[in-house]
Structure 1
Amino acid sequence: MQMITWEECHFELRARLVKELGPEMRRSSPGLRITDEELDGMIDPIITREMVNAIFTAHSRNRFCRAPR
């Protein structure tokens, strides 16, 4: 059974937020020239431990519930 680490959950959440917010931010501010890396740095401080723990718990349940083959 493969388990996911807390750090992987943090990375996954940050990547999802960049993917979701990046295009929206660029669309709402056409003059804004922001890279995904810059957005990544802006998003990272707002990610709370509770957010990551929620993803970690969901992953743990999904992986735990999946029958090993």
Structure 2
Amino acid sequence: MARYRVDELFGEDVVSTNEADADNALQAVEDVTGKVISPRALQEHWFRVTDESGTIHEFSVDAAPAKVFSK
């Protein structure tokens, strides 16, 4: 496991920072958020994950389409 810094951003403003021990960057951000994460930062609310070597990964919450329940 490696240590990751997970920054939560809204636009370019950092709103929170956490650290997580995980096998990879995606797992680190999912562990911190408790949400399903998309491997692309396409939203204004996104996450920057930095590993111990300084490599930066960008993610956003997975915007799955809403389920439609009809009778």
State the TM-score, normalized to the length of structure 1: 0.23
Question: Which structure would you say has the larger Rg?
Answer: 1
Richer in strand (by share)? 2
Richer in helix (by share)? 1
